[in-house]
Each structure stands twice: as structure tokens, then as C-alpha cells.
Amino acid sequence: MNITTWKKGFRRVPDPIRKRLAGLTGDRIVVACVRRIRASALASGRYRHLGLSIDGGGPVFPERVMPDLAFGRASRRNAQGQEIVRKDLPMVSKTFSAEAPNWGDWGNGSHDVYWDRDVYQRDFTPPKELEISVALLAAEPGDDPVFVFRFRIEEVLDRNAGGFEAELLGNLNLLQENTGAADVFAADADSAAYLGTISVSWEILPPGELGEMLARVLSKFRDPNKQLREKLLDRLNFLETLKPIAYISGTSGFQRYFGAKLAENVVVFENLDYGNAIYVMFEDWEELSKRSRLDLLRNRGKVARFERVVHRKGWKDALLEIIGPRRKAA
């Protein structure tokens, strides 16, 4: 059963991917992504279609996996190919046949009946049968441990080759459909390059745009359910009571981050996918937010410019106690 909630694919190559391509050197490109996956998500079976599970607290995963053709359109095309009806070409005559009984009675034997009909011409694109490789890059301990995985389509694309655009879009859709994320990297990118994408850049929205923020965050989900909508609306309504000077929305990396800027040096944000905590950042928050949460938590004792408030009972009061003095001093 497909229990994913993420967007399944793209009609065209997204603009952020084009910007990433423009910043890459060399012509050899791979489609890949990095995802932080909680142990509870592995246990729920959300990634079972890729062979991911958890056993004894640790992740179990294959080095490579062929996407299940039943998982979606891109996976089916990858496994079975695609027949394209060419309505842009003239129709051609095709002969059909069927067996029919003599005199309407099969007891009298049978004969073949033939007839012609105009049909559209068709092209067949053979299956690529691409595999997705899986690698564990890091792990974050906790009550619900987080595992940082790299997923990569095992095909190197040449950006100067004919058909690059179509091949790129096809691979992006295959990875997006199966993992909920897609990006591009140099073919020889190392683990550090992949881990470096676990950061957030921000888009700033003016205050009073609560409805737009709600729409932006929900658009990242393929089919947001009522519970998700209610949780997001509750979080955003609470942020609204803090009277932010701007809203913030994650525009790269983990694209479901959202939050509010309360002062020039006070920003709160969180992520519904990994929403067990809300982060409060102070001085140099733009630079600090580009660091991965793994890096932040490892160096929490050395970095005093942020606070992490777990979503337990009373978390809103705890957050107010943190930001109150900071806003007065701003």
C-alpha cells in the first residue's frame, strides 16, 4: 500500500533544479537526494517499497533497488517502457481480425473475419530499468533516531548530450516518486557534498500573509489530510499570535520548513515532516540555519545562538519564555 504523502512528480524541470545545474561544474550529472528519515517512519513501512525497514533500532536497506512498478507512473515506465500515441502524425490503416462461428453456430466450425480501421501511429520507448542506490550518511540519536540517507539514480547524464532535458526530467520524477525529494549533483560528488545540502535557505514573506504561507507549505504534500492541515493551521495561528515582522518558508533542502521572524535576531521555525521540535535562532540566524541539524546538535554546547524546544505539553509557554527577553532586547 502506498502510504506516502509527498508530491509524486513534475511536469517540467523545477526552477530550483535549473539553478542547481547552473552552479555545478562539469558535464556529468546524477539525480540524487538526501533525506532525513526517522526510525518511526521506517517502522511504519513508509519506505518499504525501497526495501527500507528497521531492526533492533538500526536501519535495514539494500545497496541498490529497482523501483516497484506498482508504485507509480514513473516507476512503471522505468520497468515496462512507455507507448506514446502520436496524434501529431497522420493516422494509418491497420487490419484487425477475429474468429467467428460459421452460420452463427460454433458447432458448424469457425472462420476468421478481417476488417481495416484507421488508428494513430504509436512509438514505444523501451524501459530503462534504472536502479536507485541507497547509502547511510549519518545518524542522529534520540528517542526517535534520525537516519540521513542518500538516494541516487544510477545513471550518469551528460548535459551536452541530445535528449538531456527529457532524461533529466524522467530521472527526477523517478526519484521524487519514490523518495519525496529530487536534486542534481556532479557525478563524482562525495558524501560531504551530499551532506552539505541538509541546510535551509529562506524565502521571506511579509506579515499578514498567513493564508499564503499555509498554501505554500501544503503544496509540498501530494495529498494533505485533515490532521495535517489542522496541525499546520494550529502552528501557524500560534506564530501569528507572536506578531511576526515576516514569515519564512524553506525554499531548498528540506522544503517543508516554515516559521516566523519576530525580530532581526529572533527567528523560530520547524518542519512538519520532522516536527518533534521547534528551533529558535538568534544572532546570525541566516548563517546558522544553513547548518544541518545533525551539525547543530553535535555542537550545541559550543553554539549558544539557538534553542530547541520539543513539542511536549507546555511547549508554547516554554517558547514564550525563551523569546520574550530576546524580543525586548532587540
pLDDT in tens, 93-106: 888 888 989 988 88
- Whole-structure pTM value: 0.60
In this predicted structure, the answer to whether residue 192 has a pLDDT above a threshold of 70 is: yes
Which residue in the block uniquely carries the three cell numbers 519564555?
A: 321
Distances (CA, A) of 287 to 4, 200, 202, 224, 265: 32, 10, 11, 31, 12
Do 130 and 31 meet the contact criterion of CB atoms below 8 Å apart?
Answer: no
Helix (H) or strand (E) holding 84: strand 82-86
Q: What is the pLDDT of residues 246-301, one digit of tens each?
A: 877 764 443 456 778 888 788 888 766 545 678 888 876 766 665 655 566 665 55
CB atoms under 10 Å from CB of 134, counted, come to: 20
Cα separation, 222 vs 304, whole angstroms: 37
